[in-house]
């Protein structure tokens, strides 16, 4: 701003103290590229708010119209597809940005005294962001949205004593329907933004009271100091511009998934969740029966509580990560488990090469024996038997299929699927085809 204009306003509004508070905040040790993730997260939140407002102009939160209104946004609204793309990829970017922000805080020991409350507020903000993701996922009201949300709510239902009540509160009744959709919509666009804005304000207020943590050195006295402007502002702006560009490129080049319109009676649909919930989806596959509550709520609750109270669990005042082997090892172990599960999940989703000739032969066997009379794949076929669109993902076990086709009742008691007298070659090819069906979207 030209200095004369600035002076004109400053004489009337007394701006200099405001400028000092906003831009002259001292950073111990000086500006750094590693401190940008908080600002990036804040920027992405503002982008989500702006794109969300425009989407709300056209979106209709009812089961009759939600799906059509999304299609309308995609096809008819000027730049509607682009705004929806920004909002979709922006959500993923926000999860990554907040994850990196927490990782940096963890690595630098920046959660230690006197910044415990800022960390705890941060964990709350992270949980609010994940709730944004969960509630937003239902809004397109397609098959994936509907059945993934069903799975999520069922998991809440496994919590003892209050589970039933909680899942009914989430659904607004006994079944997932119109009330659930308006409830998720109102939460997504009214309740959560209000809570998140309050939380961000508090997070930043605390930051300004205690000041940024700076580097992890013990010798704080010898640290030089640098104001937030101009270098840190510049670094933040550069990374924000890069992130926006990446999100915009994704929005332009990757078509967004939209499966069939939600069909509450098609219980055979197997949903695949967003990538940031995939590690958890993978974990759920390993626990069954009496162990199920362990994965559905005990483990998540423990992880959240440990995260929340972490500054009081790790009481070692040293901040240099090399001299905090236990904290560093626990952090690494946590990341290893999460990314290990995510990796396995992605590997299962994309495993079988689609050019495998056995898969093509198996597809022919599938057609020859009229499997489509009962089963559906990518929306084609009957609906009396389970949808097989992602059967290779939900049943990755080759031996199971080899046993199943000649005698379905031997592995699925009570199944009315007929026995199929297949040759060994046909059996193998058909199984290869089944195992190749791992993707919710056809390509
Ligand atoms: C008459 C209807 C019918 C036909 C025809 C039929 N199935 Fe099935 N199939 C079923 C039913 C019903 C089940 C599920 C039984 C259950 O859930 O207990 C099933 C289960 C399956 C499953 C396991 C799905 C899961 O839940 O993981 C696979 C895989 C499968 N069928 C493949 C095939 C293939 C391949 C063919 C053609 C060779 C075929 N089916 C023909 C009715 C049929």
Residue matched to tokens 């190749």? 436
Report the alpha-carbon distance of residue 206 to residue 195 in Å, rounded. 16
Q: Which residues of the chain have pLDDT under 50?
A: 352, 443
The bridge status of strand 26-28 relative to strand 225-227 is antiparallel
Taking the C-alpha atoms of residue 402 and residue 427, their distance in angstroms, rounded to an integer, is: 7
Q: In the numeric block, which tokens belong to residue 222?
A: 């010898």
Report how far Cα 256 is from the mean position of its chain's Cα atoms.
15
Q: How many CA atoms lie within 13 A of 67 on its CB side?
A: 16
Distance between CA atoms of 214 and 271, rounded to whole angstroms? 44
Residue 435 in contact with residue 349, Cβ under 8 Å? no
Residue nearest to atom 10 of ligand 1 (CA): 417
Residue 89's pLDDT is what? 97
Tokens 């038997």 -> residue:
385
DSSP, res 113:
T
Q: Ligand 1 pocket, 371 CB below 6 A?
A: yes
For residue 248, the model assigns a pLDDT of 98
Phi then psi dihedrals of residue 380, to 5 deg: -110, 130
CATH topology of domain 11-350: Cytochrome Bc1 Complex; Chain C (1.20.810)
DSSP 8-class letter at 157? T
267, 376 in Cβ contact below 8 A?
no
Cβ(112) to ligand 1 under 6 A?
no
Residues 199, 117 contacting (CB under 8 angstroms): no
Minimal-distance CA residue to ligand 1 atom 42: 417
Whole-prediction pTM: 0.74
Could you identify the atom of ligand 1 that is nearest to the CA of residue 413?
Answer: 18
Convert the pLDDT of each residue in 116-169 to its tens digit: 999 999 999 999 999 999 999 999 999 889 999 998 998 888 888 999 999 999
Tokens encoding 284? 């759920």
Give the Å distance between the CA of 432 and the centre of ligand 1.
Answer: 15
- Does ligand 1 have an atom closer than 6 angstroms to the CB of 411? no
Domain limits, the chain: 11-350, 357-436
Supply the residue whose CA is at minimum distance from atom 26 of ligand 1. 386
Q: What is the pLDDT of residue 206?
A: 95
In CATH terms, 357-436 corresponds, of 1.10.760.10, 1.10.3210.10, 3.20.20.100, 3.90.1200.10, to 1.10.760.10
Ligand 1 atom 34 nearest Cα: 371
Identify the CA nearest to 201 among candidates 269, 118, 97: 118
What is residue 237's predicted lDDT score, i.e. its pLDDT? 97
Contact (CB, 8 A) for 244 and 94: no
Helix (H, G, I), strand (E, B) or coil at 226: strand
* pLDDT given for residue 443 in this prediction: 44
Distance 288 CA to ligand 1 centre (A): 22
Residue 251: what pLDDT? 96
Where do the H-state alpha helices sit in 143-261? 143-156, 163-171, 178-186, 192-210, 231-253
Q: What is the mean pLDDT of the chain?
A: 91
Question: What HEC string does 265-302 produce?
Answer: CCCCCCCCCCHHHHHHHHHHHHCCHHHHHHHHHHHHHH
The pick from 386, 401, 418, 429 for probing ligand 1's pocket by mutation, whose C-beta has the most ligand atoms within 8 angstroms, reads 386
Here the tokens at position 225 are: 């100091």
Q: What is the largest CA-CA distance in the chain?
A: 91
Q: What's the rounded Cα separation, in Å, for the pair 294 and 363? A: 39
Structure tokens at 33: 């590229």
CA 209, CA 220: separation in Å to the nearest integer?
18
Q: Please report the sign of the dihedral spanned by the C-alpha atoms of residue 317, residue 318, residue 323, residue 327.
A: positive
Ligand 1 centre to CA of 300 (Å) is 34
Q: How far is the CA of 375 from the centre of ligand 1 (A)?
A: 7
Ligand 1 centroid–CA 266 distance in Å is: 15
Helix axes 325-350, 80-107, angle to 10 degrees: 150
Q: Which atom of ligand 1 is nearest to the CA of 384?
A: 12
Do 11-350 and 357-436 fold alike per CATH? no
* Any ligand 1 atom below 6 A from CB of 374: yes
């Amino acid at each position: 701003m030209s200095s004369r204009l600035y002076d004109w306003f400053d004489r009337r509004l007394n701006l200099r103290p405001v400028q000092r508070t906003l831009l002259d905040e001292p950073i111990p040790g000086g500006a750094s590229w590693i401190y940008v993730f908080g600002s990036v997260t804040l920027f992405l939140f503002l982008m989500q708010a702006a794109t969300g407002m425009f989407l709300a102009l056209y979106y209709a939160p009812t089961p009759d119209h939600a799906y059509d209104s999304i299609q309308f946004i995609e096809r008819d609204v000027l730049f509607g597809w682009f705004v929806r793309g920004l909002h979709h990829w922006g959500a993923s970017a926000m999860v990554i940005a907040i994850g990196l922000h927490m990782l940096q805080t963890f690595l630098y020991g920046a959660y230690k005294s006197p910044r415990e409350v800022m960390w705890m507020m941060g964990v709350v903000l992270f949980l609010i962001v994940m709730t944004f993701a969960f509630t937003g996922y239902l809004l397109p009201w397609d098959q994936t949205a509907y059945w993934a949300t069903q799975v999520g709510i069922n998991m809440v239902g496994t919590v003892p004593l209050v589970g039933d009540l909680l899942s009914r509160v989430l659904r607004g009744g006994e079944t997932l329907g119109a009330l659930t959709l308006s409830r998720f919509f109102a939460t997504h666009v009214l309740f959560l933004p209000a809570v998140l804005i309050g939380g961000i304000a508090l997070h930043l207020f605390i930051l300004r009271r205690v000041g940024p943590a700076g580097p992890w050195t013990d010798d704080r006295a010898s640290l030089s100091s640098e104001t937030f402007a101009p270098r840190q502002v510049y670094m933040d702006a550069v990374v924000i511009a890069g992130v926006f560009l990446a999100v915009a490129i994704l929005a332009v080049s990757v078509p967004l998934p939209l499966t069939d319109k939600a069909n509450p009676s098609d219980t055979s649909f197997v949903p695949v969740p967003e990538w940031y919930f995939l590690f958890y989806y993978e974990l759920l596959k390993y626990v069954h029966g009496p162990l199920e509550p362990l994965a559905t709520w005990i483990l998540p609750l423990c992880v959240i509580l440990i995260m929340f109270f972490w500054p009081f669990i790790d009481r070692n005042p040293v901040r240099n990560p090399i001299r905090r082997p236990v904290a560093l090892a626990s952090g690494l172990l946590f990341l290893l488990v999460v990314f290990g599960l995510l990796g396995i999940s992605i590997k299962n989703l994309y495993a079988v090469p689609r050019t495998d000739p056995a898969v093509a032969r198996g597809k022919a066997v599938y057609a020859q024996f009229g499997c489509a009379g009962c089963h559906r794949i990518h929306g084609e076929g009957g609906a009396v038997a389970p949808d097989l669109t992602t059967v290779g993902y939900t049943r990755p076990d080759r031996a199971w299929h080899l046993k199943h086709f000649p005698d379905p009742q031997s592995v699925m008691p009570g199944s009315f699927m007929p026995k199929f007298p297949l040759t060994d070659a046909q059996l193998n090819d058909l199984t290869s085809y089944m195992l190749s069906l791992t993707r919710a979207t056809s390509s």
